[in-house]
Chains A and B, each alone.
Chain A
Amino acid sequence: MVTTTTVREPAARTGPDGPAPRPRRGRTPRALRRRPNVLAGLGGFVWLAVIIVPVYYVVISSLRAQQGFFATNPLAFPSHITFDNYSLVLNSGFGRYFLNSVVITIAAVAVTVVLSLMAAYAVVRGNGRFVRSAFSVFLLGLAIPVHATIIPLYYMITKVHLYDSLLALILPSIGFAIPITVLILANFIRDIPKELFESMRMDGASDLRILRSLVMPLARPAIVTVGIYDGLHVWNGFLFPLILTQSPNQRVLPMALWTFQGEFTVNVPAILAAVVLSTLPMLAAYLLGRRYLVRGLTAGFSK
Chain B
Amino acid sequence: MSVLPTDNPAARRRGSGASGLFAVPALLMFVVFALVPLAGAVVLSFTHWDGLGAITWQGLSNWTRVLHDPLTGNALLLTVKIMVVSWVVQTPISLLLGVFTAGTQRYRAVLAALYFVPLLLSSAAVAIAFKALLDPNFGIGGAPGLHALAQNWLGDPDLVLYVVIFVIAWQFVPFHTLLYQAAVRQIPDSLYEAATIDGAGRLQQFWYITLPQLRNTVITSSTLMITGSLTYFDVVFVLTAGGPGNSTRLLPVDMYLTGFQANDMGDASVLAVILVVIGLALAFVLTRFSGFSRMRSEQEGL
Contacts and interface: CB of A to CB of B under 8 A. Distances in A.
A126 B132 contact: no
B260 A148 contact: no
Interface residues of B, number: 126
B221 to A, nearest CB: 8
A28 interface: yes
B233 interface: yes
A73 B26 contact: no
Given A54-B130, A54-B133, A298 B37 contact: no
A282 B120 CA distance: 6
A156 B283 contact: no
A226 interface: no
Interface in B137-151: 137-140, 142-144, 146
B165 interface: no
Given A48-B114, A121-B18, A136 B122 contact: no
Contacts of A13: none
Nearest to A101: B122
B275 A147 contact: yes
A115 B26 contact: yes
Contact of A122 (B22, B130, B296): B22
B34 to A, nearest CB: 5
B185 interface: yes
A257 B182 contact: no
Interface of A is mostly: helix
B202 A122 contact: no
Interface of A: 23-29, 31-33, 35, 37, 40-41, 43-45, 47-48, 50-55, 57-58, 61, 69-70, 72-76, 111, 115-116, 118-119, 121-128, 130-132, 134-139, 141-156, 171-172, 174-176, 178-179, 182-183, 186-187, 190, 194, 197-198, 201, 207, 210-211, 232, 235-236, 238-239, 243, 253-255, 257-258, 261, 268, 271-272, 275, 278-279, 282-283, 286, 290, 294, 297-299, 301-303
Given A37-B202, A147-B230, 14 more contacts: A31-B196, A54-B130, A118-B26, A124-B302, A126-B23, A127-B2, A128-B20, A152-B43, A156-B36, A175-B32, A261-B238, A271-B128, A278-B124, A279-B125
